[in-house]
Amino acid sequence: MNDTHHGHVTRDGIRIHTAEDFAGMRKAGQVAAQILDDIAPHVAPGQTTGELDRLIEGMVHAHGARSATIGYRGYKHASCISTNHVVCHGIPGSAIPTGRNEKKRTDDAFQDGDILNIDVTVIVDGWYGDTSRMYIAGTPKPFAMRLIQVTHDALMKGIEVVRPGNTFGDIGYAIQSYVEAQRMSVVRDFCGHGLGRVFHAPPNVLHYGRPGREAVLEEGMFFTIEPMVNLGRAETKVLADDWTAITRDKSLSAQFEHSVGVTSEGCEIFTLSPGNRYYPTWS
Report the alpha-carbon distance of residue 275 to residue 282 in Å, rounded: 10
Binding flag, residue 130, Co ion (CB under 5 A): yes
List the x/- string, 140-159, binding to Co ion by CB under 5 A: --------------------
C-alpha distances in Å from residue 186, one per residue of 65, 81, 171, 175: 33, 19, 13, 8
Question: Closest CB to ligand MF3 among 140 and 224?
Answer: 224
Query: Rounded to whole angstroms, what are the CA distances from 76 to 42, 154, 159?
Result: 21, 30, 31
Three-state SS at 278: coil
Site for ligand MF3 in 118-157 (CB under 6 A): 119, 121, 130
72 is an interface residue for ligand MF3 by CB under 6 A: yes
What 8-state DSSP symbol labels residue 91? Answer: P
Neighbours of 126 (CB within 10 A): 11
Residue among 145, 226, 253, 269 that touches ligand MF3 (CB under 6 A): 226
Among 53, 57, 114, 119, binds Co ion (CB under 5 A): 119
Q: Which is nearer to ligand MF3, 84 or 224 (CB)?
A: 224
C-alpha span between 283 and 274 (Å, rounded)? 14
- CA–CA distance, 221 with 15 (Å, rounded to integer): 6
If binding is defined by CB under 5 A, does position 224 make contact with Co ion?
yes
Binds ligand MF3 by CB under 6 A, chosen from 26, 89, 157, 258: 89
Give me the residues that bind Co ion (CB under 5 A), please. 119, 130, 224, 257
Give me the residues that bind ligand MF3 (CB under 6 A), please. 69, 72-73, 75, 80, 89, 119, 121, 130, 224, 226, 257
